[in-house]
Structure 1
């Protein structure tokens, strides 16, 4: 009976672990490393969270219409502890330019470089 209970518990733990392992997506699968783009837009929101921080950005497209871009990048813990980021580092309405790998299935990118309109570099993972 103890062995049977252990086996059931083990299978449950294994199933939970495999579900969480597959739930975390591959950056290469979601973003195209051969399609690096630059976008300039207005900050709507910064979500400094784990496992991936993201910025919502309104970008004017070639037709002159606004598109909502999602800029994904590293975990909040690394940005806060390692780079001094905080929830107020970007304010809604600020203009920034971003560079990164274009998302394959939505309007967004995986952020490599972020600079304010005044030239202050906030993120540059290309030099790490």
Structure 2
């Protein structure tokens, strides 16, 4: 088995989470500045055995695509071109950022630490991945 990687794509920063090789545990990996994302992924994929790439699908409450979807589509085309051997799945990421922020509160992080948007993005990616694993 290989790792599953989850991507919470954003226009400025992108949160990334990954499973262990047995696809049991989801852990936050990092947050990357979005312009450096493809380079980061190429390097990471060379080092690790990746079985599946999950990309969050940000939907509005009514199920329509979010504003960032246009940028995500460009990113998906880039993955298909530059990393063609990897399977990519879209997963609903509604409320993942809100849940990430609540997780930070529940874990006792101080207000100053909760302002760290990079950490919110990484936790959101972890939540997306946990939801996917739970629904397998």
Q: Which has the higher strand share?
A: 1
TM-score normalised over the length of structure 1 = 0.24
Q: Which has the higher helix share?
A: 2
The structure whose Rg is larger is 1
| Greater RCO, CA 8 A, separation 6+ | 2
